[in-house]
Structure 1
């Protein structure tokens, strides 16, 4: 029988990840620079993992991981496209948070860490029967 996630849990994980992400920006002066370098991107990818789990509650963890990484990588590679209308969207805070500003290879690593963290957290919570 395919797994069916409880959307309420995943909604709460999305909100919690957003709160942690905003807090990490607010308190960035207190964190080591090596952490600040990729923390926001990793948390953004983690949030993307939870959002895709929310939208596709019956997806396998493998498919969910693949979808999340694909979205994250496509958004990053889209930053190589510099057209006026897309740059106009990126000029607003929300647009910059969602679409990013400039392509960095290191962001791909941060996204991979964020999505892998989501996968590991989910597998651990499922094993403990905290979420389903």
Structure 2
């Protein structure tokens, strides 16, 4: 990774898990990390329960739009985090991959999405600590 690391979060619809993960990383890392998200079969809109769950913790993802996973986007990313996209996610030699096993928030109400949101936060926090170690470590 040269300069600012780039992280791509990928799930099928790019409407829940990957959008929440991108929201958390933007919130926690600020400009220190380039954040991207995409889906193998993007939905028309972000999951409203995911939007509400993130709003509850002060993160607004309403302006985001599900995006199609493009070869170029993956190729230009340093770290690719997949979340249930299976074989639809491309594999690039030399890239760092993480596959996060997370429940899909599709069709769930906000109460069911909160634990998913919180698990994503914990994983993003760990990823960020690995990408940008604290001063003096």
Taking structure 1 as the reference length, the TM-score comes to 0.37
Taking structure 2 as the reference length, the TM-score comes to 0.36
**Which structure has the greater CA radius of gyration?**
1
Report the structure, 1 or 2, having the larger strand content.
2
Report the structure, 1 or 2, having the larger helix content.
1
